[in-house]
Amino acid sequence: MRGKLVYPYSDALLQYEFKKDHPLKPDRLNLTYHLSKYLGLLDKVKEIEPTLASRQELELFHSPEYIDAVEDSGTNNNTHPQYGLGTSDNPIFPLIHDTGARYVGATLDAMRAIMDGASNAFCISGGLHHAHKNVASGFCIYNDVAIAINMLHQKKKCRVLYFDFDAHHGDGVQNAFYRSKDIMTISVHQTGKTLFPGTGFIYETGAAEGVGYSVNVPLLPGAGTPELIRVFDEVVVPLFESFKPDLLVTQMGVDGHYMDPLAHLTYTSYGYETIIRKLRDMSSDICKLGWLAVGGGGYHPVNVARLWTLFLAVMLDEEVPNEMPTEFKEACIQLGYQEIPELMRDEDEVVQLYSSREDVALDLERAIRRVNELVFPYHGL
Ligand SMILES: [Zn+2]
Protein backbone atom coordinates (compact mmCIF):
# COMPACT_ATOMS: atom_id res chain seq x y z
CA MET A 1 0.00 0.00 0.00
CA ARG A 2 1.48 3.36 -1.04
CA GLY A 3 1.36 6.41 1.24
CA LYS A 4 -1.29 9.13 1.26
CA LEU A 5 -1.48 11.99 -1.22
CA VAL A 6 1.00 14.65 -0.10
CA TYR A 7 -0.15 18.28 0.03
CA PRO A 8 2.49 20.94 0.78
CA TYR A 9 0.99 24.12 2.15
CA SER A 10 1.64 26.90 4.63
CA ASP A 11 0.64 30.53 4.93
CA ALA A 12 4.27 31.48 4.23
CA LEU A 13 3.52 30.69 0.56
CA LEU A 14 1.14 33.66 0.51
CA GLN A 15 4.11 36.04 0.63
CA TYR A 16 4.83 35.43 -3.06
CA GLU A 17 3.13 38.64 -4.17
CA PHE A 18 4.67 40.97 -6.74
CA LYS A 19 2.34 43.92 -6.11
CA LYS A 20 -1.15 44.44 -4.74
CA ASP A 21 -2.67 44.89 -8.23
CA HIS A 22 -0.67 42.06 -9.88
CA PRO A 23 -2.85 39.29 -11.40
CA LEU A 24 -0.99 36.49 -9.56
CA LYS A 25 -2.82 36.81 -6.25
CA PRO A 26 -1.93 34.79 -3.13
CA ASP A 27 -5.68 34.39 -2.52
CA ARG A 28 -5.59 31.71 -5.22
CA LEU A 29 -3.75 29.43 -2.79
CA ASN A 30 -5.41 30.60 0.40
CA LEU A 31 -8.93 30.09 -1.01
CA THR A 32 -8.06 26.72 -2.55
CA TYR A 33 -6.69 25.48 0.75
CA HIS A 34 -9.76 26.61 2.67
CA LEU A 35 -12.31 25.29 0.20
CA SER A 36 -10.60 21.90 0.21
CA LYS A 37 -10.60 22.00 4.00
CA TYR A 38 -14.30 22.94 4.30
CA LEU A 39 -15.16 19.99 2.08
CA GLY A 40 -13.19 17.60 4.29
CA LEU A 41 -10.69 16.70 1.59
CA LEU A 42 -7.67 17.71 3.65
CA ASP A 43 -8.54 14.98 6.18
CA LYS A 44 -7.59 12.49 3.47
CA VAL A 45 -4.18 13.96 2.60
CA LYS A 46 -0.82 14.26 4.29
CA GLU A 47 -0.20 17.98 4.71
CA ILE A 48 3.43 19.02 4.85
CA GLU A 49 5.05 22.35 5.68
CA PRO A 50 7.09 23.52 2.67
CA THR A 51 10.81 24.03 3.28
CA LEU A 52 13.05 26.57 1.54
CA ALA A 53 15.02 25.26 -1.43
CA SER A 54 18.76 25.61 -0.94
CA ARG A 55 21.07 27.49 -3.28
CA GLN A 56 22.45 24.14 -4.43
CA GLU A 57 18.95 22.96 -5.30
CA LEU A 58 18.15 26.14 -7.26
CA GLU A 59 21.37 25.55 -9.20
CA LEU A 60 20.02 22.21 -10.40
CA PHE A 61 18.44 24.37 -13.12
CA HIS A 62 19.31 28.08 -12.74
CA SER A 63 22.67 29.74 -13.31
CA PRO A 64 24.55 31.18 -10.29
CA GLU A 65 24.53 34.64 -11.94
CA TYR A 66 20.77 34.57 -12.27
CA ILE A 67 20.25 33.52 -8.63
CA ASP A 68 22.65 36.31 -7.57
CA ALA A 69 20.53 38.80 -9.53
CA VAL A 70 17.30 37.59 -7.86
CA GLU A 71 18.93 37.87 -4.42
CA ASP A 72 20.21 41.34 -5.25
CA SER A 73 16.72 42.43 -6.37
CA GLY A 74 15.28 41.30 -3.06
CA THR A 75 18.02 42.64 -0.80
CA ASN A 76 19.03 45.85 -2.55
CA ASN A 77 15.90 46.66 -4.54
CA ASN A 78 17.84 46.65 -7.84
CA THR A 79 16.09 45.74 -11.09
CA HIS A 80 17.88 43.46 -13.58
CA PRO A 81 15.96 43.76 -16.86
CA GLN A 82 18.47 41.50 -18.64
CA TYR A 83 17.33 38.72 -16.27
CA GLY A 84 13.64 39.65 -16.59
CA LEU A 85 13.62 41.14 -13.07
CA GLY A 86 11.79 44.43 -12.65
CA THR A 87 9.59 44.18 -15.73
CA SER A 88 5.84 44.79 -15.68
CA ASP A 89 5.19 41.03 -15.50
CA ASN A 90 7.86 40.38 -12.87
CA PRO A 91 8.23 43.43 -10.61
CA ILE A 92 10.78 43.04 -7.83
CA PHE A 93 9.81 42.89 -4.14
CA PRO A 94 11.78 42.37 -0.93
CA LEU A 95 10.95 38.64 -0.54
CA ILE A 96 11.40 37.77 -4.22
CA HIS A 97 14.23 35.29 -3.61
CA ASP A 98 12.94 33.78 -0.37
CA THR A 99 9.40 33.22 -1.53
CA GLY A 100 10.62 31.97 -4.91
CA ALA A 101 12.83 29.48 -3.04
CA ARG A 102 9.87 28.46 -0.86
CA TYR A 103 7.74 27.72 -3.92
CA VAL A 104 10.55 25.51 -5.20
CA GLY A 105 10.91 23.93 -1.75
CA ALA A 106 7.22 22.98 -1.75
CA THR A 107 7.53 21.14 -5.06
CA LEU A 108 10.81 19.50 -4.01
CA ASP A 109 9.21 18.32 -0.76
CA ALA A 110 6.39 16.79 -2.82
CA MET A 111 8.89 15.11 -5.15
CA ARG A 112 10.92 13.75 -2.21
CA ALA A 113 7.75 12.33 -0.65
CA ILE A 114 6.97 10.54 -3.92
CA MET A 115 10.52 9.21 -4.12
CA ASP A 116 10.01 7.92 -0.58
CA GLY A 117 6.83 6.05 -1.51
CA ALA A 118 3.87 8.46 -1.52
CA SER A 119 1.63 7.53 -4.45
CA ASN A 120 0.90 11.09 -5.49
CA ALA A 121 1.15 14.72 -4.47
CA PHE A 122 -0.61 17.96 -5.30
CA CYS A 123 1.47 21.07 -4.80
CA ILE A 124 -0.90 23.95 -5.57
CA SER A 125 1.82 26.61 -5.38
CA GLY A 126 4.01 24.88 -8.00
CA GLY A 127 3.96 25.02 -11.78
CA LEU A 128 6.10 28.10 -12.52
CA HIS A 129 6.63 26.82 -16.03
CA HIS A 130 7.85 30.01 -17.73
CA ALA A 131 11.03 30.54 -15.68
CA HIS A 132 14.18 29.95 -17.73
CA LYS A 133 17.72 29.11 -16.66
CA ASN A 134 18.75 32.78 -16.81
CA VAL A 135 15.51 34.74 -17.04
CA ALA A 136 12.38 35.32 -14.98
CA SER A 137 9.31 35.28 -17.18
CA GLY A 138 5.53 35.34 -16.98
CA PHE A 139 5.27 35.74 -13.15
CA CYS A 140 7.75 32.88 -12.67
CA ILE A 141 11.05 33.43 -10.83
CA TYR A 142 12.36 29.90 -10.23
CA ASN A 143 11.23 26.90 -12.25
CA ASP A 144 10.16 24.45 -9.53
CA VAL A 145 9.22 21.73 -12.01
CA ALA A 146 12.55 21.70 -13.88
CA ILE A 147 14.44 21.70 -10.58
CA ALA A 148 12.32 18.86 -9.14
CA ILE A 149 12.74 16.68 -12.23
CA ASN A 150 16.50 17.33 -12.21
CA MET A 151 16.64 16.39 -8.53
CA LEU A 152 14.85 13.13 -9.25
CA HIS A 153 17.20 12.42 -12.15
CA GLN A 154 20.28 13.02 -10.06
CA LYS A 155 19.18 10.20 -7.75
CA LYS A 156 17.47 7.91 -10.20
CA LYS A 157 17.53 7.55 -13.97
CA CYS A 158 13.91 7.22 -15.00
CA ARG A 159 11.32 8.37 -17.52
CA VAL A 160 9.08 11.33 -16.73
CA LEU A 161 6.03 12.50 -18.66
CA TYR A 162 5.32 16.20 -18.13
CA PHE A 163 1.82 17.16 -19.28
CA ASP A 164 0.88 20.85 -19.16
CA PHE A 165 -2.67 22.05 -19.83
CA ASP A 166 -2.24 25.64 -18.65
CA ALA A 167 -3.58 28.14 -21.24
CA HIS A 168 0.00 29.26 -21.87
CA HIS A 169 2.75 27.18 -23.46
CA GLY A 170 5.02 25.49 -20.88
CA ASP A 171 8.12 26.99 -22.49
CA GLY A 172 10.52 26.95 -19.53
CA VAL A 173 10.01 23.25 -18.81
CA GLN A 174 10.09 22.34 -22.50
CA ASN A 175 13.40 24.17 -22.96
CA ALA A 176 14.88 22.57 -19.86
CA PHE A 177 14.45 19.11 -21.36
CA TYR A 178 14.48 19.87 -25.09
CA ARG A 179 17.42 17.55 -25.75
CA SER A 180 16.32 14.72 -23.48
CA LYS A 181 14.47 11.56 -24.37
CA ASP A 182 14.02 10.63 -20.72
CA ILE A 183 11.62 13.51 -20.15
CA MET A 184 8.73 13.88 -22.56
CA THR A 185 6.93 17.22 -22.44
CA ILE A 186 3.42 17.63 -23.83
CA SER A 187 1.80 21.07 -23.77
CA VAL A 188 -1.71 21.93 -24.96
CA HIS A 189 -2.30 25.67 -24.94
CA GLN A 190 -3.74 28.68 -26.73
CA THR A 191 -1.60 29.29 -29.82
CA GLY A 192 1.50 31.44 -29.41
CA LYS A 193 0.24 33.53 -32.32
CA THR A 194 -2.29 35.14 -29.97
CA LEU A 195 -0.93 34.58 -26.44
CA PHE A 196 2.20 34.85 -24.29
CA PRO A 197 4.89 33.44 -24.48
CA GLY A 198 4.50 33.23 -28.27
CA THR A 199 5.97 29.71 -28.56
CA GLY A 200 4.69 26.13 -28.46
CA PHE A 201 4.27 25.41 -32.16
CA ILE A 202 3.90 21.90 -33.52
CA TYR A 203 7.31 21.94 -35.18
CA GLU A 204 9.02 22.36 -31.77
CA THR A 205 9.61 18.63 -31.37
CA GLY A 206 12.93 18.52 -29.49
CA ALA A 207 16.60 18.45 -30.47
CA ALA A 208 19.49 15.96 -30.59
CA GLU A 209 18.40 12.67 -29.01
CA GLY A 210 15.29 14.44 -27.67
CA VAL A 211 13.65 14.81 -31.09
CA GLY A 212 10.12 13.49 -30.82
CA TYR A 213 9.98 14.06 -27.05
CA SER A 214 8.67 17.66 -27.06
CA VAL A 215 5.05 17.73 -28.10
CA ASN A 216 2.92 20.82 -28.64
CA VAL A 217 -0.73 21.18 -29.54
CA PRO A 218 -1.65 24.86 -30.02
CA LEU A 219 -5.36 25.75 -30.02
CA LEU A 220 -7.23 28.68 -31.52
CA PRO A 221 -8.86 31.19 -29.15
CA GLY A 222 -12.33 29.89 -28.32
CA ALA A 223 -11.23 26.26 -28.06
CA GLY A 224 -12.77 24.51 -25.08
CA THR A 225 -13.78 21.25 -23.49
CA PRO A 226 -14.33 19.23 -26.71
CA GLU A 227 -10.86 20.21 -27.92
CA LEU A 228 -9.20 19.49 -24.56
CA ILE A 229 -10.72 16.02 -24.42
CA ARG A 230 -9.88 15.32 -28.05
CA VAL A 231 -6.22 16.29 -27.59
CA PHE A 232 -6.12 14.14 -24.50
CA ASP A 233 -7.59 11.06 -26.19
CA GLU A 234 -5.76 11.37 -29.51
CA VAL A 235 -2.36 12.71 -28.45
CA VAL A 236 -1.77 12.27 -24.72
CA VAL A 237 -3.19 8.77 -24.30
CA PRO A 238 -1.22 7.08 -27.12
CA LEU A 239 2.03 8.80 -26.11
CA PHE A 240 1.47 8.00 -22.43
CA GLU A 241 0.91 4.33 -23.28
CA SER A 242 3.92 4.03 -25.58
CA PHE A 243 6.35 6.08 -23.44
CA LYS A 244 5.38 4.28 -20.21
CA PRO A 245 6.72 6.94 -17.84
CA ASP A 246 7.87 6.03 -14.33
CA LEU A 247 6.46 9.34 -13.09
CA LEU A 248 3.69 11.61 -14.33
CA VAL A 249 4.08 15.33 -13.68
CA THR A 250 1.10 17.55 -14.54
CA GLN A 251 1.02 21.34 -14.64
CA MET A 252 -2.63 22.12 -13.96
CA GLY A 253 -2.97 25.85 -14.61
CA VAL A 254 -6.65 26.73 -14.92
CA ASP A 255 -6.36 29.93 -16.93
CA GLY A 256 -7.92 28.06 -19.86
CA HIS A 257 -11.29 28.08 -18.04
CA TYR A 258 -13.96 30.21 -19.72
CA MET A 259 -14.17 32.55 -16.71
CA ASP A 260 -10.46 33.36 -16.67
CA PRO A 261 -9.59 36.98 -17.46
CA LEU A 262 -6.13 36.49 -19.07
CA ALA A 263 -6.57 33.88 -21.82
CA HIS A 264 -9.21 33.12 -24.45
CA LEU A 265 -9.97 29.41 -24.10
CA THR A 266 -13.32 28.07 -22.86
CA TYR A 267 -12.60 24.91 -20.86
CA THR A 268 -15.20 23.91 -18.27
CA SER A 269 -15.09 21.91 -15.04
CA TYR A 270 -16.52 18.95 -16.96
CA GLY A 271 -13.57 18.90 -19.35
CA TYR A 272 -11.02 19.21 -16.58
CA GLU A 273 -12.61 16.50 -14.44
CA THR A 274 -12.78 14.17 -17.44
CA ILE A 275 -9.08 14.37 -18.21
CA ILE A 276 -7.97 14.32 -14.58
CA ARG A 277 -9.94 11.14 -13.96
CA LYS A 278 -8.16 9.55 -16.92
CA LEU A 279 -4.77 10.82 -15.71
CA ARG A 280 -5.46 9.29 -12.30
CA ASP A 281 -6.29 5.91 -13.77
CA MET A 282 -3.43 5.88 -16.27
CA SER A 283 -0.81 7.00 -13.76
CA SER A 284 -1.96 4.38 -11.31
CA ASP A 285 -1.74 1.67 -14.01
CA ILE A 286 1.50 2.76 -15.65
CA CYS A 287 3.67 4.98 -13.42
CA LYS A 288 5.74 3.08 -10.87
CA LEU A 289 6.69 6.25 -8.99
CA GLY A 290 3.26 7.85 -9.16
CA TRP A 291 1.96 11.32 -9.98
CA LEU A 292 3.22 14.75 -9.02
CA ALA A 293 0.59 17.41 -9.76
CA VAL A 294 1.36 21.10 -9.51
CA GLY A 295 -0.77 24.22 -9.97
CA GLY A 296 0.05 26.97 -12.45
CA GLY A 297 -1.93 29.86 -13.94
CA GLY A 298 -5.46 30.92 -13.07
CA TYR A 299 -6.37 34.53 -12.41
CA HIS A 300 -9.89 34.42 -11.04
CA PRO A 301 -9.00 33.37 -7.47
CA VAL A 302 -12.46 32.07 -6.47
CA ASN A 303 -12.68 30.00 -9.63
CA VAL A 304 -9.14 28.68 -9.17
CA ALA A 305 -10.12 27.49 -5.69
CA ARG A 306 -13.21 25.76 -7.04
CA LEU A 307 -11.32 23.97 -9.83
CA TRP A 308 -8.23 22.92 -7.87
CA THR A 309 -10.48 21.58 -5.12
CA LEU A 310 -12.37 19.53 -7.72
CA PHE A 311 -9.02 18.27 -9.04
CA LEU A 312 -7.95 17.20 -5.55
CA ALA A 313 -11.24 15.34 -5.10
CA VAL A 314 -10.68 13.46 -8.35
CA MET A 315 -7.08 12.65 -7.41
CA LEU A 316 -8.35 11.26 -4.09
CA ASP A 317 -11.31 9.55 -5.76
CA GLU A 318 -13.63 11.33 -3.33
CA GLU A 319 -17.08 12.72 -4.07
CA VAL A 320 -17.76 16.36 -3.28
CA PRO A 321 -21.24 17.91 -3.02
CA ASN A 322 -22.12 20.31 -5.79
CA GLU A 323 -23.24 23.09 -3.42
CA MET A 324 -20.56 25.63 -2.57
CA PRO A 325 -20.01 25.57 1.23
CA THR A 326 -21.39 28.65 3.03
CA GLU A 327 -18.14 29.15 5.00
CA PHE A 328 -16.30 29.43 1.72
CA LYS A 329 -18.73 31.97 0.28
CA GLU A 330 -18.37 34.02 3.45
CA ALA A 331 -14.57 33.85 3.30
CA CYS A 332 -14.67 35.10 -0.30
CA ILE A 333 -16.97 37.99 0.59
CA GLN A 334 -14.69 38.95 3.47
CA LEU A 335 -11.76 39.15 1.06
CA GLY A 336 -13.81 41.45 -1.17
CA TYR A 337 -14.84 39.01 -3.92
CA GLN A 338 -18.24 39.27 -5.50
CA GLU A 339 -20.20 36.99 -7.82
CA ILE A 340 -19.17 33.77 -6.13
CA PRO A 341 -20.36 30.68 -8.03
CA GLU A 342 -23.17 28.84 -6.23
CA LEU A 343 -22.02 25.45 -7.44
CA MET A 344 -18.73 23.56 -7.47
CA ARG A 345 -19.19 22.54 -11.11
CA ASP A 346 -20.17 24.49 -14.21
CA GLU A 347 -23.78 23.86 -15.15
CA ASP A 348 -24.71 21.83 -18.22
CA GLU A 349 -25.95 24.96 -20.02
CA VAL A 350 -22.50 26.51 -19.70
CA VAL A 351 -20.85 23.36 -21.01
CA GLN A 352 -23.26 23.44 -23.97
CA LEU A 353 -22.67 27.14 -24.56
CA TYR A 354 -18.97 26.50 -25.06
CA SER A 355 -19.32 23.50 -27.31
CA SER A 356 -17.11 23.24 -30.35
CA ARG A 357 -16.90 25.90 -33.05
CA GLU A 358 -16.33 24.65 -36.58
CA ASP A 359 -13.18 26.69 -37.36
CA VAL A 360 -11.64 25.71 -34.03
CA ALA A 361 -12.43 22.03 -34.54
CA LEU A 362 -11.03 22.02 -38.10
CA ASP A 363 -7.85 23.73 -36.99
CA LEU A 364 -7.39 21.13 -34.25
CA GLU A 365 -7.91 18.33 -36.73
CA ARG A 366 -5.05 19.72 -38.82
CA ALA A 367 -2.89 20.15 -35.72
CA ILE A 368 -3.41 16.56 -34.59
CA ARG A 369 -2.62 15.25 -38.08
CA ARG A 370 0.65 17.22 -38.06
CA VAL A 371 1.60 15.93 -34.58
CA ASN A 372 0.92 12.41 -35.85
CA GLU A 373 3.31 12.99 -38.76
CA LEU A 374 6.09 14.72 -36.82
CA VAL A 375 6.09 12.97 -33.45
CA PHE A 376 4.27 9.65 -33.48
CA PRO A 377 6.83 7.81 -35.71
CA TYR A 378 9.46 8.25 -32.94
CA HIS A 379 7.24 6.16 -30.68
CA GLY A 380 6.27 3.40 -33.03
CA LEU A 381 2.79 4.89 -33.48
ZN1 LIG B 1 -0.94 30.36 -17.83
- Residue 64 C-alpha to ligand 1 middle, in angstroms? 27
Residue 36 domain boundaries:
11-379
pLDDT of res. 310? 98
**CA of residue 156 to ligand 1 center, whole Å:** 30
Q: How far is the centre of ligand 1, averaged over its atoms, from the C-alpha of 97 (Å)?
A: 21
Within a domain: 1:
no
Is residue 350 pLDDT above 90, yes or no? no
The Cα–Cα gap between 162 and 251 comes to 8
Task: Report residue 348 CA to chain centroid gap.
Answer: 26
Considering the domain boundaries, does residue 5 fall inside one? no
Question: For the domain that residue 245 is a member of, what is the CATH number?
Answer: 3.40.800.20
Residue 138 belongs to some domain of the structure: yes
DSSP percent split of the chain into helix, strand, coil, nearest 5? 45, 15, 40
Sign of the CA dihedral with 263 first, then 267, 269, and 273 last: negative
DSSP state of 136: -
| pLDDT number for residue 75 | 98
DSSP assignment of 106-127 equals HHHHHHHHHHTTBSEEEETT--
Q: Is residue 3 part of a domain?
A: no
Q: What is the mean pLDDT of residues 31-53?
A: 98
CB–CB of 201/122 below 8 Å? no
Confirm whether 288 is domain-assigned. Answer: yes
Looking at the domain assignment, is residue 4 inside a domain?
no
Does the pLDDT of residue 121 top 50, yes or no? yes
CA distances from 363 to 219, 253, 345, 372 (A): 8, 23, 28, 14
d(CA 361, CA 223): 8
Among 130, 168, 189, 300, the active-site one is 130
Residue 248, beta-bridge partner list? 161, 291
Alpha carbon separation from 333 to 52, 180, 304 (Å, rounded):
32, 47, 16
The contacts found for 112-115 with CB under 8 angstroms, 24 or more apart, are 112/151, 113/3, 113/6, 113/46, 113/48, 114/6, 114/247, 114/289, 114/290, 114/292, 115/152, 115/155, 115/156, 115/289
Residue 319 has pLDDT above 70, yes or no: yes
Residue 230: CA count within 13 A, CB half-sphere: 21
| pLDDT interval class at 1 (50, 70, 90) | very low
Ligand 1 centroid, distance to 170 Cα (angstroms):
8
Number of independent structural domains in the chain: 1
Residue of 95, 166, 161 whose CA lies nearest to 130 = 166
Beta-bridge mates of residue 257:
267
Is 130 tagged catalytic?
A: yes
Q: Which whole number is the average pLDDT over 72-79?
A: 98
Identify the residue with better confidence: 156 or 202: 202
Does residue 6 lie in a domain region? no
Per-residue model confidence as pLDDT tens digits over 166-190:
999 999 999 999 999 999 999 999 9
| pLDDT at residue 334, as a whole number | 96
324 falls within a domain: yes
